[in-house]
Structure 1
Amino acid sequence: MTSQWTAQRVRSTFLDYFKSKEHTFVPSSSVIPYEDPTLLFANAGMNQYKPLFLGTVAPGSPFAGLKRAANSQKCIRAGGKHNDLEDVGRDSYHHTFFEMLGNWSFGDYFKKEAIQMAWELLTNVYALKADQLYVSYFGGSPERNMEPDLEAKQLWLDIGVPEDHIVVGSYKDNFWEMGDQGPCGPCSEIHYDRIGGGRNVRDLVNMDDPDVLEIWNLVFIQFNREADGTLRPLPAKHIDTGMGFERLVSALQDKRSNYDTDVFAPLFTKIQELTGRRAYEGKFGAEDADGIDTAYRVVADHVRTLTFALADGGVPNNDGRGYVLRRILRRGARYVRKYFDVPIGTFFSSLAPTLIDQVGDMFPELAKNQADIFEILNEEEDSFARTLDRGEKLFEQYAARARQQNLTKLDGKDVWRLYDTFGFPVDLTRLMAEEAGLTIDENEFEAARLASKEASKGTKFVSGEALLKLDVHLLSELQNSQVPTTDDDAKYGKGNVTATVLKVVDSTGFVSEVSSGQTGLLLDKTNFYAESGGQEYDAGKILIDGEAEFDVQNVQSYGGYVLHTGYLKYGSIKTGSQVVVGYDVTRRASLQNNHTGTHVLNFGLREVLGDGIDQKGSLVAEDKLRFDFSHKQGVSLPELDKVEKLCSKYIKDNQTVYYKDVSLEKARAICGVRAVFGETYPDPVRVVSIGVPVDELVSDPDNKKWHEYSIEFCGGTHVGKTGEIRELVIVEESGIAKGIRRIVAVTGSAAHDVQRVAQTFSQRLDELEAAIDAIPVAEAEAQAKKLGVELKPLSVSVISKAALTERFNKLQKQITEKVKAQQKAQAKKVVDAIAKYFEQNPDAKFAVLKVEGNPKALTEGFNYAKKNDKTVYLLSVDGDKVAHGCFIADKSASAPEIGQAVSEVVGGRAGGKGQSIQGSGTETSKVDEAIKVVTEKLTALGL
């Protein structure tokens, strides 16, 4: 069976089976649920079908009319309500990433067919032994006044499942709910006994036995949970099933662990190749004495989660799902180094291609985005590698201190510092503590976290502004004391530097020591980039390991003295202190992307607009780049498109970025070099060249081909190769002064985000375009109005914005024409109804009519009545409002008085004077009563 049922065949067999049962294959949704803020990650196959279950699917949606579906959904359960992270590696079946095979029915088939198909697939197609399968059904909940699902039980009996293989399930295990309110229903689970052999294990079902595991859950969505907690039967019943792909493969390959299958075997082989350690042996717990088998499982699981998440646009950071991804990478990286004893920095990017080769056919997005995936993995892993040594060393100090004091718990403040300073997620510290025979004091940790958060309030600089500065008096004091200027050569390198504090500054000036408040530190050397040349400053930390942490929020240079301004998070720092200096690599990476991106953009503009453009200013920030240049007119959309495509090509070509200090005279002689007019440059000047070494430029300065490259004078920090930028998207083009234009662009993950936003908005336009003839005109008008409001401030590519705006305007015009046509048709109906009434009742003095139409249609009716000298009162239900009004031919009668009488019945109010009024009410159920009141009023007036 092992050789017969490869993982790939297991998946394709499932999909082919349901295709034969008239199910539509729906590709897996993104594992990053951008449109569902209630979820950290897609954690179940049903997530993308919520609109179908809730009845809110738009008529133009791809899901409109969908009755049956099947797919394999990418799922992550790490963080939030569903979190399997800390179980991964410890047992044979938990994963943070897994595939969920599923089939769905939306108001089509129900329990009987779902049960029959599941049993047929498992026992006839996959040929699992029926006596190793157990099923459960909801046994009811008397305390909740819920009946057992005896229908499901009987259906299992009907297909031949013996009663001793049918288990009564609890509310927790066998009743599924989307939330506190909404669609819900009982479910039947199918469990598999890995061992079999004539035994009956019904008592082990849902008891966390590794050999008796749930493989499939069939959910019967038949109720709606009302606001008062009661269950109300749904008019349309649905089926939602989910089967663990990895568990099914282990069953079909007759393996007692998911990790023993070919889902993981290629990854284990690659891990062994990369590390040179022993082969995977499948040991658990105490049997895995050296921890290597656990490390295999953790690393293989984590690379799956990271690769799929990054392919779908996830980015490790310090917030929400981004922080979960960072935790997973750092947890995995530590396992790599501790248990496999190999350096980290590029390990996961070396392992990920094996996974992509395995599943790229099913999930092509992995291969499409692999360059971005590898770059992010390397950035994150390299960043953690720089702090891991010092963090582990500090952990050992904390652990030793706890043992010396005969404590079994680590101090919560120490655990917080490991997180806050070195980026050690708490679960990673918890794991390290467990390895050391310790636990952590969770209450103390939470108290330290809250205290740190409170202490930081009011200490951070507004908008990053450096409040402490070296003024003329302080600079004079430094020079008179012969304090050397700062050596900042390390700003172009990677890694931390060790430095000496030369001066400490607070609001009073130079001080010998500081322990609180806003502070400035002057060091003998630094790797921080001080703000200059349009590039913003670095941020980061200055540390005395275990004693003090200084949060650097701004860095400025004053006559060669680099001042790091920020505040102390704990401890104290004094003149002469030896410190470790490290910038925030994530912020630096974004700045480098945007700075090299600015050079690429400058080159693209020159190529498209000509040599006449001159740089007039720039800003290189963490979230964007801004470039100002001379140009007499706005850059047209075709020109912007050309610029963006040229930039993209330069980036995709992955050109090397070269830089070198060159004498100013030789640098100015290089053909095609770009410099800011009027800028004073140092001698020597730093030349940054993309695609050609600086030495070649200097050796042959007159070569005309240098004009085909980006060559600039620049002292900023840059990427090593343009491919690291990944993408550049222009999001704004505008004029800021006569003859001066400004372009704003984004790169890297920010560029990916704006493209995703544009794609999502485009899909919404697709849906409305498809639905425009299927939904009421008023609904189409409302949807278009909402889209129009959202489109105006939408931050996307200028090119995309123009295309979306053009599409929206066409759609708006189409809807407007439909509105006019509907209004014309409604008006005609109203006029025809009045004419018909008086034609059939020639002696009638007035007409009180309930018609169909909005207020504009009623107005046409009043105009007709006025033209024909007829007294008419019209009422119409327009959505959730009552539209009403009249024209009274007799000038002696008071239309407002009659309108007020109607408003007293239908609510709202009416306005007008003399012979005409119009009004709007809210009581749609009282129109007939209003008609009676109007008729009595007009009759009493003798009209």
Structure 2
Amino acid sequence: MSYTGSQVRQMFLDYFAQNGHTAVASSSLVPHDDPTLLFTNAGMNQFKDVFLGFEKRPYVRATTAQKCVRAGGKHNDLDTVGRTARHHTFFEMLGNFSFGDYFKNDAICFAWELLTDVFKLPKEKLYATIYLDDEEAFTIWRDEIGVPVERILRLGEKDNFWSMGDTGPCGPCSEILIDRGEHLRCDAEECAIGKCDCDRWLEIWNLVFMQYNRDETGTMTPLPKPSIDTGMGLERITSVLQNVGSNYDTDLIRPMIAFVEELSGQAYHRDDRGFPFRVIADHVRSCTFLITDGVLPGNEGRGYVLRRILRRAVRFGKVLGIDRPFMYTIVPVVVQLMGDAYPEIREKNDFVQKVIKIEEERFHETLHEGMRIASEMVNKVKAEGSTVLPGRQAFALYDTYGFPLDLAEDIAEENDLTVDKEGFQAAMNEQRERARAARQDTVYGAGMEFWSELYSQQGATRFSGYQALEATSTVQAIVRGTEVVTEAQAGEEVQIVLNETPFYAESGGQTGDQGIITAGDTVVRIVDTKKMAGALHVHIGIIEKGTLQTGDAVTAQVNGARREAIARHHSATHLLHKALKETLGEHVNQAGSLVEENRLRFDFAHFSPLTREEWQAVEDRVNAQLLADLPVNTEETSLEQARAAGATALFGEKYGDQVRVVSMGEYSMELCGGTHVGHTSQIGLFKLVAEGGIGAGLRRLEAVTGSAALAYMNSQEETVRTLAEKLKVPMNDVNRRVDALQQVLRDKDREIEQLLTRLARYQVDDLLATGETVAGVTVLAAQVQAPDMDALRQMADLLKAKIGTGVLILAAVVDNKVNLVAAATADAVRQGVHAGNIVKEAARVAGGGGGGRPDMAQAGGKQPEKVMDALAAAKQVIKNQLGA
């Protein structure tokens, strides 16, 4: 029996739910608090802190269908996607997990029962691989499951040993493979598991036995509670159950290929001719899910990867003859196929389409510009007598304009050139290294592994800052640089860990608290508070007086006035979020925020600048809630209940099963761990101060509240007062006076323009006398006085009207730059004169460029000292054109 991909997903989840596993929703593709990870790329990502012991869940068994993206870097080379039957950027990973509950025996038995009893795969076609010396797994497969010894293969560390990193949890794996038949064997001398990587031997499930902890020396010690992490690609198992040769032929992806067939008018083939179809189908899934999860096209990080994926698909659309924005039209197909399993893509359908369409339109413009740049690069290489396009130039095309290497090679080949692939790859590797380095997360020199180890020793910090701004506590650790010390002296910068703290650690956009920690006469000034390893509050400060020692009893006191100012701004972001939705539409979603004592910054999804009316409407809506004095209440509840009640979950935030809900009357309800005012009236006043775009479909607002808003208003008033004094009018008369002055300026501009026109006429009469005759054509080349390019063109028009049969080039130096205009009469053009070529050569001599029509052209240069040389070069071009 053949199952649909959706049925396979549900059957997997149902099976494990029936066996005591909690079905956990897929986490966002944007990992929270994990700087080592660009995207969620495995089912275990959302349970990483559980496996490390940093987080407790109300269950010890879980199952998920996790959306994943692997694009670029060590996990997936984009160029392989679509070339093979299995490579994807977006895919779904089915998994079951045990957190110190069951281990190898149950994990293997569950997997075998699901594959053979539920999915009905033939037992005689299934093989198991184990780690070389994993006798326990070997015994289970042989004795419990009954797999013949010849179908249990031992492989080395590369294939069958998993680790979370250089240190930490690790353990052997057991993979389950299926023999898809002799007809799919490869040409290798020995086509066998572990010897080749062909489609005959298909790995369908990987069972990871997390049983050791590896330290810095490489020593592995048994974990007290071994755990299980498994992963089975939905697309891969579906291809087996539907008996098709490629993931792209399953009903999870094939409908998108069919849609592209209709768009392009071309038929899909399963060989290399179908490569563009597969790229587009894969990439539109990635784009849909990434944008839904809050990623927008950009020039850095996740936004850059999304942009590359989208532009790569557009490029292959061009290969199929689709020379218009089209990717956005495939999004409804993705929604139809996957919207039931992931309702968020259905909710964001319109928004996703808008973002993709805008980016496609921009890329079509960029691609046109890129072709121009590529042509210039090729011409320069040929002019230098070389036959190789430098790799770094090819990479610049790739990096800036989205040109894949094969497109650069096509352009080069058309011009009898080759591309320096080694140079291209070197530039690519340098960029990857920069990206990797940028993702390294450090706090004052100490990396994540350092804080994770400290957390494992000290445990979580108890936060009491919701209830009080002061607490009696004990110093658990003092860190100086990257070293744990037992004491620190006055003048030293330190990071302090307490067992309990009222200090809020930076999280959810809210900046960390400041204040003081005292122990007798010892005073530590805390300048920031960070959260490390999930739950460890790190107080960063300077010892101003005395000596601090581990174990000291201390008093931790938050700067109350600063905390209150931060709370006002944080509560205002909740009201702002709601007001934006009411004013602009439900598509508005928070995409990031920063909450400080003197301002707030709020990023949100929207496609155009706010109009003056929208700006005022948002401000008015927020301030109306302040006047309404809404009570601000917080409540701990389950994530499921909070969502059912309508609470808004924010982009980029990680939520456990228990969440904190912040409600402001009936106006706003959001999941939030930050600190807030007790009533909205305590915010005082809300004032927007700035708005702008920061990416495709992404806007940024800045605002101030409370005393910061009052200071802003006072500053604005002082500006108007100063202006009124300078204009010698009352403050309420400034607008009228400015309007009057602007009218005076307009009148003066017209007078100046008239005077310049008269001056130009006087210059024209003088210049005509300087012309010389070449082959019956009057040639005029001169430097003149002109305030701008418009005036220079006007002078050229006047000369052209009086010169008879003639050609002219004028130069003027404006703001230390050269303006050039060339013009030719119709009969001069018929004799071979071309103004565009004349001005182009003059501009080259003056250190610039430009061109235009045969009868009129303009250009610019950066070297005013070469004006006369440029005019001389222009005269020579004219003589050459006239054959003189």
TM-score by length of structure 1 reads: 0.47
**Please, what TM-score do these two structures have when normalized by structure 2?**
0.50
